[in-house]
Amino acid sequence: MKQTDCLGGQDLRDMFAAATSWLEKSAPDIDLLNVFPVPDGDCGTNMLLTMRSCVEEAYRAPDHSASAVSQAMARGALMGARGNSGVILSQIWRGLAQGLAEKESFNYSDLANALLQASVMAYKGLSNPVEGTILTVIREAASAAETQVSSGSNNCISIMEAVVSAASESVANTPTLLPVLREAGVVDAGGQGLYTLLEGALRYLKGEGEQMQFRKPQIIVSNIPLVTRLPQMVAADEEPYGYCTEFMLKGKKLVLDKVSVGLEKKGQSLIVVGDESMIRVHIHTLDPGSVIRYATSLGTMHQVSIRNMDEQHQDYLEMQRERMPAVDIAVVAVISGDGLADVFRSLGATAIVSGGQTMNPSTKDLLQAVESVVSHKVIILPNNKNIVPAANQVQSVTEKSIAVVPTETIPQGVAALLAFDYEAELEANTQLMNKAKSQVATIEVTRAVRSTHLNGLNIKKKQAIALLDGELLVAGNNTIDILKKMLAKLDLAKTEVMTIYYGADTKTAEAEQVSATIHEQHPQLQIEVVRGGQPHYNYIISIE
């Protein structure tokens, strides 16, 4: 772990160089978050290219002061900015540089102030700021940094931990602020990209550079029930999207506000950032010629990019059509946790509805998922006993043929999905999956939300508790101890495979320790540890 009481320009450069490499690993996944339609496509790629230019310029800084390096990074980001998200990111860097101006090094308080300046500058660059985007994420992250300083934190790691945590929550909340995200079933791509950068910087500060080489950033799942949606078709008379027009304008005594006023009636999604000698412009317009004529009257244009968004849109639709699964029967699964969602997708689930314990989706949520898939026959895996009743109501409100396999736990859902036969009919698959789910046992480890007396156990609030197939059997203060007690109640002689899904609040090292402890006592078991990312439950364990 780095000494983080005071950081210099080289530290700033190196932490965001590491963050850029971290972003590179998930750029393709972030690209896929782009909301349909995708006039600006490839958000992750645009942010990555912007950051590469940012870091390259940092290595050319005239000295190693925090001020010089941050100014170089801001200039590099501006020069290399791509797309809407890249331009906003360049504004964030410009604000950060202003916050670190004239500083040889910076401490936790300086960092919090610089992030606040970054937030203010990000909003200034847009003629019509929209919440539920990267803007919201940087603002809420900066606010968390301020709060952390006020609470008495005195090092940069604690500040960045608060920043990353707030950014994660902010990204997950973006669909509640922006209806188009909620409809598409995704979080904001730019916000996800910023979160990934901040997380990468934090991991570097914590000395996790080596681990980062073998891991991959996670895409955040929304706080609200979301459906993995397939693209909708667009009516023939829909308004055209026009041209995404970007360029660098160089001149003398350029005035940002004047340029913004001159362009604001020529299109939409206008962003104008820079200074009196160099301005970066991004605009969606039906008449790029008028934009170019205006710009050339003020100075010289460089790095000009004009893309037909209508063609992009059609290409995107064709790509999504090709990606649509050509299956006769679709499977809709209810999942809470990004890692678990990845598991179900990898096993062939066609659509994911976000939900589970404390967050039960409605019949309407399930219906939307059913209607979004192309198949006429659909199997629903509720994966929670409280969701089974809502799932059973779907058949009454759709013309599609619905079968509900009443899985009550995640391991039951996995077992059922593994038994799915693509060549079998709906009824046969329902029988196969019902049989499979009954052959797996589930252990769930969580914390008691209140004190109680149950099944002969005196349980205290926040005490660790373990359930076997929904029945509370063990309580204690130590997770490993209660797992040992739970496993002692089972006959594991014929058990071959155990899968440990660890939750959002559980560290990988702890999960690995749990696995090793169990393996010492039961060496015949084949144990797999999987990051589930589920809330509330530290562990969900499948026993087959």
Cβ(352)–Cβ(228) under 8 Å? Answer: yes
Token pair belonging to 405: 């396999």
Give the separation between CA 137 and CA 73, rounded to whole angstroms: 20
Res 3: pLDDT: 55
Give the separation between CA 192 and CA 338, rounded to whole angstroms: 13
What's the CATH number of domain 243-315, 3.30.70, 3.30.160, 3.40.50, 3.40.720? 3.30.70
Is the four-CA dihedral 164, 169, 172, 174 of positive or negative sign?
negative
Instruction: Please report, in angstroms and rounded to a whole number, the separation of the first and last CA atoms in the chain.
Output: 40
For strands 441-447 and 401-404, give the pairing: unpaired
Token pair belonging to 195: 């979160």
Which CATH number is 441-543 given? 3.30.1180.10
Cβ(27)–Cβ(82) under 8 Å? Answer: no
Give the separation between CA 11 and CA 408, rounded to whole angstroms: 49
Give, as one character, the DSSP assignment of residue 356. B
Give the separation between CA 450 and CA 435, rounded to whole angstroms: 36
N residues, the chain:
544
Cβ(541)–Cβ(411) under 8 Å? Answer: yes
Report the half-sphere exposure of 244 (CA within 13 A, side-chain side). 17
The residues, any chain, with a CB within 8 Å of residue 208's CB and separated by 6 or more, are none
The beta strand positions in 15-146, using DSSP E, are 105-106
Q: Which candidate, 63, 62, 70, places its Cα nearest to that of 92?
A: 70
| CATH 3.40.50.510 segments of the chain | 325-437
In the sheet that 351-354 helps form, which strands lie side by side, from edge to edge?
Answer: 351-354, 329-335, 377-381, 401-404
The residues, any chain, with a CB within 8 Å of residue 434's CB and separated by 6 or more, are 405, 406, 416
Give the separation between CA 445 and CA 112, rounded to whole angstroms: 37
Give the separation between CA 496 and CA 326, rounded to whole angstroms: 34
Q: Which candidate, 14, 426, 19, places its Cα nearest to that of 196?
A: 19
What's the CATH number of domain 325-437, 3.10.20.30, 3.40.50.510, 3.40.50.300, 1.10.10.10? 3.40.50.510
SS3 of 250, please?
strand
For 230-256, the pLDDT digits (tens) are 433 333 334 456 788 889 999 999 998
| Stretch (H or E) spanning 412 | helix 410-418
Q: Please name every residue paired with 499 in a beta bridge, in sequence order, or none if there are none.
A: 528, 542
The residues, any chain, with a CB within 8 Å of residue 147's CB and separated by 6 or more, are 162
Res 477: pLDDT: 85
With vertex at residue 250, the alpha carbon angle to CA 249 and CA 255, rounded to the nearest 5 degrees, is 80
Return the percentage of the chain with pLDDT > 90, whole number.
Answer: 46
Please compute Rg for the chain using Cα positions.
26
Token pair belonging to 240: 């055209």
Token pair belonging to 65: 């002061």
Res 229: pLDDT: 42
Q: Which candidate, 31, 12, 11, 13, places its Cα nearest to that of 23?
A: 31
| Stretch (H or E) spanning 150 | helix 134-150
Q: Residue 276, Cβ neighbours under 10 Å: how many?
A: 11
Residue numbers of the chain with a pLDDT score lower than 70: 1-4, 34-41, 183-184, 223-241, 310-327, 357-358
The residues, any chain, with a CB within 8 Å of residue 457's CB and separated by 6 or more, are 472, 474, 475
Q: Which candidate, 342, 336, 320, places its Cα nearest to that of 382?
A: 336
Q: Is the pTM of this model over 0.85?
A: no
Cβ(202)–Cβ(212) under 8 Å? Answer: no
| CATH 1.25.40.340 segments of the chain | 7-212
Res 327: pLDDT: 62
Res 124: pLDDT: 87
Give, as one character, the DSSP assignment of residue 126. B
Place of tokens 């789910």: 437
Is the four-CA dihedral 90, 150, 167, 15 of positive or negative sign?
positive
CATH class of 7-212: mainly alpha
Give, as one character, the DSSP assignment of residue 516. H
For 474-486, the pLDDT digits (tens) are 888 888 888 888 8
What single-letter amino acid sits at 145?
Answer: A
Torsion of CA 151, 157, 161, 164, to 10 degrees: 120
Res 9: pLDDT: 93
CA 263 from centre of chain? 33
| CATH 3.30.1180.10 segments of the chain | 441-543
Cβ(541)–Cβ(500) under 8 Å? Answer: yes
